[in-house]
Amino acid sequence: MTTEGDQTRARLLREARDLYLEDGFGRFSLREVARRAEVSAAAVYRHFENKEALLGEVCQAGLQVFYGYLVRALSAPTPLERLGATSTQYLRFGLENSRDYRVLFMGGAQEFQSAATARQQGPHPTFQFLVDRIRECMAGGVLKVGEAQEVATVVWAHAHGLVSLRLAGQLERVGDDAAFAGLYHRAMQQLVEGLA
């Protein structure tokens, strides 16, 4: 694909994401995506078979960005610090990429994951990343030994709940993003201490 084609594709993904957040799937149309991206409707079909395929690619693009954040946590020196860094990167992704976060975790777009992702065995790589951090903490004696996927689900639910409430405007009383980050880190620390 040409550079121009790549730019068109990126624009289509961005406009599709934003339109989905504004109107939901029921009112989502490829024609409107094309209009917003300033391309012909035929140009959309050169890149995507239908609106489900386009929204699946929106999700895949968001997940790639999300995974890029998560892998930064691997540079921390100990299992506990890697778990903490994973939590921090989850927060950063949510605050710095709120539109992608909303599509992936708050907008019901998971149903548009590509067929390849849907057929994959086991948890999604982004969740598996957290499971692996939990397992290494258990192996290192930092967390109680238990069912790593269950513990990872609890940790994710805690982080997701806080970030989602923030993005939904439910935690404005906490203050600005820096104040919210402080609350988030304290809450995650208390959770991990409870799992120790």
Domain tally, the chain: 2
| pLDDT tens, residue by residue, 84-94 | 999 999 999 99
Q: Is the pLDDT of residue 117 over 70?
A: no
| pLDDT tens, residue by residue, 152-191 | 999 999 999 999 999 999 999 999 999 999 999 999 999 9
In a domain, 12, yes or no: yes
CATH of the domain at 3: 1.10.10.60
Query: In terms of domains, do 147 and 77 share one?
Result: yes
- Burial class of 13 by CB neighbour count within 10 A (0 to 12, 13 to 18, 19+): buried
| pLDDT tens, residue by residue, 15-53 | 999 999 998 888 889 999 999 999 998 889 999 999 889
CATH of the domain at 119: 1.10.357.10
Joined tokens for residue 114? 């590509």
Asked if 125 and 69 touch (Cβ cutoff 8 Å), the reply is no
Residues ≥6 apart with Cβ < 8 Å to 124:
63, 117
Helices (H), the chain: 3-23, 30-37, 41-47, 51-70, 79-96, 98-101, 115-119, 125-139, 148-167, 177-195
Single out the residue of 93, 105, 107 nearest to residue 22, CA to CA. 107
In a domain, 53, yes or no: no
